[in-house]
Amino acid sequence: MALTVVSYQTGRYADGLEFSARALAINPTLDTLLAHRADMFRLSQRLPEGIAVAEQSLQLNPRLIPVREWLVHAYRDQGQTAKSDEQMAILRRMEEAPPAK
């Protein structure tokens, strides 16, 4: 996972995508790694793949607010206004929900 993050932070997205694929083959439940992978797809001009990975991340952890925020913009960039609005509505409901005890 560390190699993915370093690759992401240094702009070596092809390497980061490869490292993340290897890590996810071992442990497919790494939701934050999926979030990094989604953004690396976006930065590699592969936004539809990034969206699919971001959605996969939310399947594992639906409370990842940064991923939902990312999807609001990603869907908007793809011209998918309804899906962008849907993610925004979910974010608003999450903000209004009382904190978990």
Q: What is the largest CA-CA distance in the chain?
A: 41
For the chain, give the mean pLDDT. 94
Write down the pLDDT at residue 97.
77
Percent residues over pLDDT 70 in the chain? 98
Could you give the domains of the chain?
A: 2-96 (1.25.40.10)
Write down the pLDDT at residue 18.
97
| Contact assessment for residue 44 and residue 14, using Cβ atoms and an 8 Å cutoff | yes
Q: How many Å apart are CA 63 and CA 31, to the nearest integer? A: 11
Confidence of residue 30 (pLDDT cuts 50, 70, 90): very high
Write down the pLDDT at residue 63.
93
| Contact assessment for residue 40 and residue 15, using Cβ atoms and an 8 Å cutoff | no
